Structure 1
Amino acid sequence: MSKEPRLIVNNGSGNLFQELKSSIETCRAFYFSVAFLNFSGLQLLLEALKEAETEGTKGKILTSTYLNFTDPGALRKLREFPSIESKVFITDKTGFHTKAYIFEYDDYYKVIIGSSNITQHALKSNVEWNVELISKDYDVFMTRVFEEFDSLWARSNKVDDEFLHDYEELVRNLKQTVTQESLVFEKSSYVTPNTMQKRAMENLDRLRGIGEEKALVIAATGTGKTYMSAFDVRRVQPKRLLFVVHREEILQKAKETFKYLLHNFDVSFGLLTGSQKDFEADYLFANIRTLHNHYDSFDPEAFDYIVYDEAHHVTAPTYQEVFEYFDADFTLGMTATPERGDQQSIFEQFDQNVALEVRLHDALEDDIIVPFHYFGVTDINDIDLSDVSIDDIDEITRRLKVNERVDFIIKKMNFYGHDGEKRKGLGFCASREHARYMVEEFRKRGIPSLALDGDNTGIERQEAIQRLESEEDEVEFLFTVDIFNEGVDIPSVNTVLMLRPTNSPIIFIQQLGRGLRKHEGKEFLTVLDFIGNHAKTFLIAIALNGQRYYDKESLKVAISTGFAHLPGATHIEMDEISKERILTQIDQESFMSMKYLREQYQEFKRVRAGNVPYWLMDYYTYENAPDPVSFIKKKRTYLEFTATAEKDEHLKALIADDTFEKSLKWLSSMLPLKRSYDFAVLRALLHRRSLTIEEAEQEMKKWVDEVPSDSVDHALRYVNQEFFDSGEKERTPKLASFDGETLERTVLFDKLIGKEEYRSYLLDVLEYGLLRYEREFGSRDYGLPHFKLYEQYQMADAALLSNYRKSHSAFRGSGLLQNGNDYFLFIDLHKEAYIKESINYNDKLVSRDQFQWETPNSTTQDSKRGKNILYNRERGIRLHLFVRKYKQIENGITEPYIYIGQGDAFSWQGQQPIEVQLELHHRLPEQLYTELTEKV
């Protein structure tokens, strides 16, 4: 056991919570002394405390009333553990600031002292410093530690009924006093944009700067879209504003938000509704129904700035008339669900300009939603779903209606608890019958509950929601099927129960999202997922992982590390049985088999109420949707995959056109895009016959801040097929021609887009490619070569992204490729496909800052190439490192490489090959380092 002190910080691969959890579970006794203890932190440690109690471990926890930050609910919860004694140091004039965790083992002691109290943020996400000290003996240091702890313990109060009653009353009264009497004076000029709003406004400025007149912002409910639009209006200062909403009930609130933030604007504010018509108002807030009846009363150019809230509705006929009528200087669309309409794309309505898109992980990182504490609990043995089809809802319902399961659910609810005084929960069930059953059984056990489904009217739903949110009403749970998946805002929900087998990552995230809205006094959401033995249990891991790309290995590492890559104080914990069940299923599943892909497709179709997802853009609009590029890899185009899955003769007839099919195949082969330039100019050619070099550059700048002039030229020559080999030219129709000055549509391209269906499918690929690029790369100029750190690449990508001006097909088959002074090192960490024991220890990550690499066998230290590598800094040679853990994880599927940045040689040894030590320019993130080096 090392005696060296160790610094513990919260980062992507480790945190104080992990240290405390493992220490509690392995020690024979523990002693904590913290200034304050909150339930948000204690809940994370409940499983560890329960395990310790099972093992007979004793504990003492000392906290204080310092600033009355300690949560009475946390103290009450501790009393449920007979093996833990708890006391409270009563602070008056004496401050209490200790943060110490002492663990006693058979042959040594561990002490962790630092800055962290027991709160979710202190244990997981705050910037905290804690030092771990190990002592083998009960030496002078440990004697002093225990003397001090025992002294404080003796001076402290036992947490008995009398103390708890008095302290709870004190804290309750203090909260009421703060709410009613101690409000901080706030001026609207002090209110500043959050991170999401700032990013959106910066992108809106960029788009307006290059002459764009429309843009779309995509962000979940509760992330501050209305405030963002008001901040942008405050910056632009239009003379007249029109704010259009779909639902009248949010109109007044939107108007008040603008009026508050724009208090110093010399403008009038008004409403256009069924009962109020302020036609002359400078800033007019209108519901679409009334506006549709009166829009022609306004001049088409009456408004300088128009905002469409819930902008996914703009493709509807009522909206279209209004949308097409007005000609504003700038039009902003805001939506949480950018679903493609039957006839038109919402993205095309806003000229494919997405100023910002905020997904769940972005919102967690930006702290615009509350963290969630997810507990995956193995369901009771009586529930067997191993042989049931996910479509057999009646049978699943029958098997879930077990009284012992209800008792088990309530037992776990009571064990994990919830944030706040009143429990306000949503339970997601398998069917209406299941929901009604849960209500009946919960009521029998004294928990007032209601069931809601599609048969309930809007008024009935609203009344039920109000009863749940009321502190005075007795209702604690709403049990439902799918009606709360999206579009319903219940901010005060503090508990979510997942009571049915997860069959869709999309639905899972939508249901989870119902409880993530921020609310006064709400610190976190408790999520209890009762995990059975259904064949698709592993989908839970895909949903929680939330990564843009994943494979078996990265999923398994995420599970083994407790999804440590998730930002903020979010916590995910699965019991060992659930964890092993999911890991086994992941090992057995083939993610690229036609069977799996077809199941993904059919489930996505079910999420869309049975509507066929004809377009790639249908997948873009759903968080955690299947990656349609997987379908493309299987069948070369998404259209062909859909035709096969649907057995659709009309789609098959479209593919039968050789020129169209080859064109679609070529565009599809570039997905996901690694640079946007090529698609940007091809998309522009759908609308105009030709582009000058300057016009082409402007099209590119719609997607990136800057474009190197050499890259503009390279992109135009690339779409002119100048870097294609003879085989590529033969199988790829030429859509554009470049003569050195102008890029023009070819006659062939003219004919293709002259047919509306062909044009729609070509546009879909271009639109999807560009918008997905924007989501994954943003608008940043990555320079030349155009590489983003930690993004995935294939060898041939290096040719495209370094503006290689010979045949790009030459970039394959070798681990070392070159374009001028740029050397590209493509490295397999394991030389065999997915065999953990077969590791090439000569190519490895030595640390997060250092990589050890062997040159190709033909390279000597005296050769020109050898000297360029060994003396790369002096010779101006840039060494770019691309690594992958395995060449193949699934048979026949080649894994991409991950770009980890540049490295410089600082020492070497040997000949043919040379073993080179490289210092990385960028320290590898903890999570990626773990993923590349961890054995699972």
Structure 2
Amino acid sequence: MEESKQLIINSRHSNLLNELKKSLKECKSFYFSVAFINYSGVQLLLDTFKELEEKAIKGKIITTTYLNFTEPKALEKIQEFSNIDMKIFIADREKGFHTKVYIFENENDYKIIIGSSNITQSALKSNIEWNVKIVSKEEEPFIKDVLREYNNLWKMSSDLNDEVLQRYMLFLNEIKRTESRRKMVFDSVLPIKPNKMQVKAMENLKRLRDHGEEKALVIAATGTGKTYMSAFDVMEFRPKRLLFIVHREEILKKAKETFDKLLRGRSLKTGLFTGNEKDYESDYIFATIQTMSRYYTEFKEEHFDYIIVDEAHHSATTSYLNVLDYFKPKFTLGMTATPERCDSLSVFDLFDNNVALEVRLHEALEEDLVIPFHYFGVTDVEGVDLEGVNLDDKSELAQRLMIHRRVDFIIEKMNFYGHDGEFRKLLGFCVNIEHARYMAEEFNKRGIKSVALCGEDSVDKRQEYIRQLESNKDSLQAIFTVDIFNEGVDIPSINTVLMLRPTASPIIFIQQLGRGLRKSGDKEFLTVLDFIGNHNKTFLIAIALNGARYYDKDSIKVAVATDFANIPGCTHIQIDEISKERILMQIDGENFRSAQYLRDEYNQFKILRGGKIPYLLLDYIKYDGAPDPVRFIDKDGTYLNFVAKTEKDETIKELLIDDDFEKILKELNTSLPLKRINEFVILKYLLNHDRINIEIASNEILKYINKIDKDSVIHAFECLNHQYWDSSMIKQKIKLVEYSDDTLYRSDKFTKIITDKRYRKYIEDAINYGIIRYEKEFQEEYYGVPFLKLYEQYKMIDIALLSNYRKIHSAFRGSGLLTNGNEYFLFIDLHKERGIDERINYKDKFLDQSYFQWQSPNSTRQNTDRGKNLINNKDRKINLHLFVRKYKEIDKKAQPYIYIGKGDTVEYQGEKPITMKIKLHQEVPVKIYREFIEKI
């Protein structure tokens, strides 16, 4: 029998939803009494209810009208299950109803969960809730009391029939009408405060300005509040005159409304500058680029103190460049959700490669900036065979997917899972326009009013269909589309997304998913139905959903097997067993480091860019879900060399013939991804100056991190001077600097290379890529010395750099224990190579999330100085840093270590080796702990 008493809370480790699903699958009958039930919670239990119906396992559910919270739609859905009886307690002013009890009758006992959780997505997954699970025999007094009380409630409650439901619905509609009127008045007086993303952006913008920067870019997903963020920053900057430029007039008016709302009470005048209205006199002018590009010379160059460019991916066009080159503001801010749309001049270059903030899908979910999604991965209908089909052959794919049985199956699943809200507002992503038109036609035949939209359709036509879909009074329910990059396919009220094409790219998948995640009105969640076929790239779905910067086959398998338990908040991912097995098998058979896989990944990325070769590393930063180009560097030494070989590009091969250029590029490329920003910031400065001293270097570094120590700046100077390279490394490298009197001077060879535009472009790209990626991964925090971030990946040699080691760095390798003064670094392997005799486990292991057992090197005795430092580390002021990896190698590739922080020895025994129990300073997060301990 399982544990008799247990507290169930919602955390990254577990939640009530998982406990309910598990208990339902094990029981022979169930009885719920829940005050509030809404559709967001019911949808998460639908598949489990269906399984119980098929097994003829019966259940009873009591709910209530108390506080008018329960949704009639949720009750109607539960009523569809023939095995579930429902009753409703009609609450009144005298008697409320607030029970939350889940009773499961098993073969040999009863399981009862009583606590605070209703059936809503938040209560089941993310709210702070306390629920107590008690397992006991039927004859126990407590069980008897609960069952007796439940039966009494059942008798007191009313049958849930159509008449009761209808009356309840009409009553709720009336309440909504009166409440919405009250709400409008109430909301208007509430102070608006910046969210976490906006606060972070403002801090970073201020830091950049404080250290002399005049431009910056903010990248954040649609709907995360970029306009509010810019208004908050303007309030802090307090410019006398502001210019806000956008591409579309409808966005302009909304932006002006936002500023007017926040600036209320300040003696500032705002005005529009458009085709119809030209307000020259206002303090803050909101202009369309089309109009401003014709009239900008009528203003003085210094007229505006602050310029904001919304939709900054457009800013590489001539009209924007003319305006931005003309004005001389104190600060320019660019904002975009989609930097990938800027294909000519780099949007990063336009804003001096200063990315103040980048918030992509997983961060947006984490910070509650977008609504959660409920993803259901459904094995495609029988008869759709995609085995061996080239996913780039759109015509063949479409033909195989355009079958009537599949349409019926899609509608059946749509009806089963339902959607948030009263009206269906659906976006379906198709293979090509033929497929989109077929889907719209077939949906129309089945009574679901639908249209197909593609890139060839006019803006007016797109806007009209979007207006119809947004309106609750129009009968349009679905838009089927192909090109998700079109401006204007942004429909905030979308509550259903259908993935009707195989996923060939994580980027496309994330972009499609993001279309429905904008917050809108009362929208609680997005329903995503993905119809998963038997093609050979099904596993790409797992990579997209996992959202991890680094991945290997083991971490992805753990994510799939645990239903992506690391996904934050109320987002829910569920893949049916057939597809799950298929994905796990494909991952097992794939080598993510093989030349063929890397070429395929690169080519898919290139196709996504319309066939344009991604010559620059920064091309990858533009896309959420892009491949990691560092893996291409690992393959061929430099990214450019990988491109030259893959493309058979003779022009690039000729560039790489220059030995100095190739060596400099290799030194920069193999330093990626950066674990310390100092060296690259110094080199960025030296691109435009012939020397740099410690004071200037410190100021430059402080643009990116909030503190820097002088010794680490000096150490960076020494490293750039190659003071800690061994003789073989020195032969392979070219010195970029000369070091003398606390000053670095640009070397002649480096000067010669960067003076040549052909070479400079790639040197600048590597440096800017390193810095921007570092900002994304490490943010502005100063981590001290050693400069180590918790749960980041590291190689042994990285730690020499990060601990300011002043001996030959390549000597920093070997056994599992390396030292630098009082800093002791423990490098730990949990298993041997994945798939190679995994029965051999070392004595090194997690005891739980807070304690680790580690064995010292075999020669260590307790009475030696090193032994005493290890077992009495706290008293002797020795810092023990633990680095752990699950496997030494995966697919014959050495794996990096994960830094799990510092720890102190609390118990020890034996010697040669000493076995130590180490208490970690920080409990290891569940997601990382699970990856370490689970074997799939």
TM-score w.r.t. the length of structure 2 is 0.98
Matched to 2:62, the amino acid is: L
Q: Tell me the CA shift for residue 484 of structure 1.
A: 5.4
Aligned residue for 2:894, secondary structure, equals coil
Going from structure 1 to structure 2, the CA distance change for 1:287 and 1:323 (only over 3 Å counts) comes to same
Match for residue 27 of structure 1? 27
Q: Which residue of 1 aligns with 2:608?
A: 607
Partner amino acid for 1:645?
Answer: T
Q: What aligned pairs does 1:286-305 form with structure 2 within 5 A after superposition?
A: 286-305=287-306
Report the secondary structure of 1:906's partner residue: strand
The change in CA–CA distance for 1:259 and 1:484 in structure 2 (over 3 A counts) is same
Alignment of structure 1 residues 248-647 onto 2, 5 Å: 248-339=249-340, 341=342, 344-483=345-484, 488-647=489-648
Measured against aligned partners, the alpha-carbon deviations of 1:785-840 in whole angstroms (never above 9, x if no partner) come to 10000000000011000000111101112211000000100000003444473342
Match of 1:826 in 2: 827
- 1:483 to partner: Cα distance: 3.5
Contact 1:30 1:58 (C-alpha < 8 Å) held by counterparts: yes
Deviates more, 1:135-144 or 1:375-384: 135-144
- Asked if the contact 2:4/2:136 (under 8 Å) is kept, the reply is no
Q: Provide the residue aligned with 1:710 in structure 2.
A: 711
Equivalent residue number for residue 73 of structure 1: 73
Match of 2:39 in 1: 39
State the Cα distance separating 1:188 from its structure 2 match.
6.1
**Residue 737 of structure 1: how far off its partner (Å):** 1.5
| Alpha-carbon distance in 2 for matches of 1:488, 1:743 | 51
- SS of aligned partner of 1:713: helix
Say if 1:34 and 1:930 are closer, same or farther in 2 by CA, change over 3 A. same
Structure 1 position 349, deviation (Å): 2.1
Q: Deviations over 1:680-725 (max 9, x none)?
A: 0001110111111100111111111011111011011111111111
What secondary structure does 1:40 align onto?
Answer: helix
Q: Does 1:810 align with 2:847?
A: no
How far apart, in 2, do the equivalents of 1:11 and 1:341 lie? 40
Query: Is 1:932 equivalent to 2:927 in the alignment?
Result: no
What residue number does 2:139 align with? Answer: 138
Read off the aligned partner of 1:10 and give its amino acid letter: N
Specify the SS of the correspondent of 2:660: helix
Shift of 1:94: 1.1
Q: Which amino acid aligns with 1:38?
A: N
C-alpha spacing 1:624/1:376, structure 2 compared with 1 (3 Å) = same
Q: CA deviation at 1:181?
A: 4.1
Contact 2:724 2:807 in 1 (8 A): yes
Write the distance in 2 (CA, Å) between the matches of 1:182 and 1:339: 39
Name the count of aligned residue pairs.
935
One-letter amino acid of the structure 1 residue matched with residue 693 of structure 2: T
2: CA distance, partners of 1:750 / 1:3:
70
Q: Deviation digits for residues 870-912 of structure 1, max 9, x if unmatched?
A: 0100111000000000011112x11100000001001111111
Residue by residue over 1:448-481, the C-alpha shift from the partner in whole angstroms, topping out at 9 and shown as x without a partner, is 1101112211111111111111111111111111
Residues in 2 aligned to 1:834 and 1:319: alpha-carbon distance in whole angstroms: 56
CA contact (8 A) 2:224 2:370 kept: yes
SS at match of 1:729: helix
Equivalent position of 2:11 in the other structure: 11
Task: Report the 3-state secondary structure (helix = DSSP H, G, I; strand = E; otherwise coil) of the residue aligned with 2:887.
Answer: coil
Decide whether aligned partners of structure 1 residues 763 and 677 sit closer, same or farther in structure 2, where only a CA change above 3 A counts.
same
Whole-angstrom distance in 2 between the partners of 1:817 and 1:633: 25
Q: Determine the structure 2 residue equivalent to 1:923.
A: 923
Distance 1:299 1:430 in 2: 51
Cα offset for 1:254? 1.1
How far residue 488 of structure 1 moved from its aligned partner, in angstroms, is 2.7
**Residues 661 and 340 of structure 1: CA distance in aligned 2, closer, same or farther (over 3 Å):** farther
Secondary structure of 1:774's counterpart equals helix
**1:335-361 alpha-carbon deviations (Å, 9 max, x no partner):** 111238555322222222211111111
Q: Secondary structure at the match of 1:396?
A: helix
Who is 2:663 aligned against?
662
* C-alpha distance in 2 between matches for 1:652 and 1:623: 30
User: How many Å separate the matches in 1 of 2:803 and 2:315?
Assistant: 41
Aligned counterparts of 1:339 and 1:177: Cα–Cα separation in 2: 45
Cα RMSD, aligned residues only: 1.3
Alignment partners' CA distance in 2, 1:830 and 1:487: 51
1:646-685 paired onto structure 2 within 5 Å: 646-685=647-686
1:146-161 aligned at under 5 Å gives the runs: 146-161=147-162
SS where residue 490 of structure 1 aligns?
A: coil
**Residue of structure 2 in register with 1:774 after alignment:** 775
AA partner of residue 162 (structure 1) = E
Deviations 1:86-107 (A, max 9, x none): 1111111212111111111000
- Which residue identity does 2:40 align to in structure 1? S
3-state SS of 2:444 partner: helix
Moved more, 368-377 or 735-744: 735-744
Once structures 1 and 2 are overlaid, which stretch shifts more, 93-102 or 177-186? 177-186
Question: Does the residue aligned with 2:854 lie in a helix, a strand or coil?
Answer: strand
Tell me, yes or no, if structure 1 residue 796 matches structure 2 residue 797.
yes
Task: Look up the SS of the partner of 2:706 in the other structure.
Answer: coil
Distance 1:426 1:341 in 2: 25
Write the distance in 1 (CA, Å) between the matches of 2:571 and 2:485. Answer: 22
User: Structure 1 residues 338, 349: closer, same or farther in 2, change over 3 A?
Assistant: same
Stretches of structure 1 lacking an aligned partner (at least 5 in a row): none
Q: In the alignment, what sits opposite 2:843? A: 842
Could you say which residue in structure 1 is the equivalent of 2:219? Answer: 218
CA contact (8 A) 1:449 1:476 kept: yes
Letter aligned with residue 802 of structure 1: S
How far does the alpha carbon of each residue in 1:500-535 deviate from its partner, in whole angstroms, 9 at most, with x for none? 111011001101111111111111000000001000
Displacement after TM superposition at 1:325 (Å): 1.5
Equivalent pair of 1:815/1:826 in contact (CA under 8 Å): yes
Shift of 1:221: 1.3
Q: Structure 2: 5+ residue runs without aligned partners?
A: none
Cα pair 1:857 1:912 within 8 Å, conserved: yes
Q: Contact conserved, 2:211 with 2:700, CA < 8 A, in 1?
A: no
Question: Counterpart of 1:867?
Answer: 868
Q: CA deviation at 1:136?
A: 3.0
Between stretches 812-821 and 318-327, larger displacement belongs to 318-327
Quote the offset at 1:633 in angstroms: 0.5
1:463 is paired with a residue of what secondary structure? helix
Partner SS state of residue 355, structure 1: strand
Q: Secondary structure of the equivalent of 1:872? A: coil
Q: Distance in 2 between matches of 1:838 and 1:625?
A: 36
SS at match of 2:322: helix
TM-score normalised by structure 1 residue count: 0.98
Output the amino acid matched with 1:546: G
**Alpha-carbon distance in structure 1 between the residues aligned to 2:486 and 2:366:** 22
Q: State the alpha-carbon separation in 1 of the partners of residues 3 and 362 from structure 2.
A: 38
Distance across 1 between alignment mates of 2:533 and 2:366: 31
Q: Please state how far the C-alpha of 1:401 moved relative to its aligned partner.
A: 1.2
Q: Secondary structure of 2:408's match? A: helix
Cα–Cα, structure 1 residues 204 and 836, in superposed 2: closer, same or farther, change >3 Å?
A: farther
Could you tell me how far apart the structure 1 residues matched to 2:74 and 2:742 are? Answer: 72
Deviation at 1:13, TM superposition (A): 2.5
Cα shift readout 1:72-96 (whole Å, capped 9, x = no counterpart): 0000001110100111111112121
Query: Which residue of structure 2 lines up, in the alignment, with residue 905 of structure 1?
Result: 905
